[in-house]
Structure 1
């Protein structure tokens, strides 16, 4: 378990690093660019604020839930958000982003974030039960949450890597796959 927590420190930054590389590789794909830019923005907020949130101990899990909701927000409200930014900037990128359809990568990202929200919510409740002397051991937090987060970070990295595969199949001469 201790060896896993050491790797988790590195794996925590893996999706952000891979997303940064994917952004350059998939620049011509508007859908990939929109999702990667929003994920990178929230990832940078996440990576910067974790150093402060980790000191909250009990309420760290509420922060983790909030960050996962931040990842879901631009997926659910892409059309409205992109349209609002387009109206402010007149950038054709945001107009194109507002016309996009729901992608498999967005569905996978929402599923990963939803699982993370559930895991963090279980740990959050478990901590309150422990502090209230209702339970003696926080089993989920102690034995499952780190492993779950490790797996979810790997899966989110694979979702981002799927943009490489998708971009490789695009024919930029004709604009078709």
Structure 2
């Protein structure tokens, strides 16, 4: 037979209702400028090694001699001669593939970003599409392709790319112009 509580053994009252049942907010830690610079240095080292290996398979390149009294125009002509279209295109494709294919993979980061705990995602935390990753990566491969138009165009595109990347330091969400164009955020673990 169940026991009936007596006046001396009253059960405790139920806990008060929870009016705000939202889960606790998690703080997003964005990858800042200097952390991204460190990851870019690691990626540049990896790309340099990969390019040196690829260059072994490409035909040898002849370097024109610099005139005895070089002027600015002679220097520009020599630099343009060094930029053979086939090498520029192969290098730009290498850079594009390295960044885009890794950042759209399940890792969502290049090797340099993985080493530093950085992840590239869209605003919802999901993977970037190939198009979004290509847009996000333009400051890296587009200056190389602009070299096909000449040194002057390459410098102008490189300057714009630098401004797009430096904007990371000035943004609350640590987004460069290229990140905003692609709808991407970089977080760190």
**Global fold match (TM > 0.5):** no
Q: Which category of TM-score, normalised to the shorter sequence, fits these structures?
A: 0.3 to 0.5
Q: Write 1 or 2 for the structure with the bigger share of strand.
A: 2
Q: Write 1 or 2 for the structure with the bigger share of helix.
A: 1
| Higher alpha-carbon Rg | 2
Q: Which structure carries more relative contact order (alpha carbon 8 Å, separation 6+)?
A: 1
TM-score with structure 2 length normalisation? Answer: 0.38
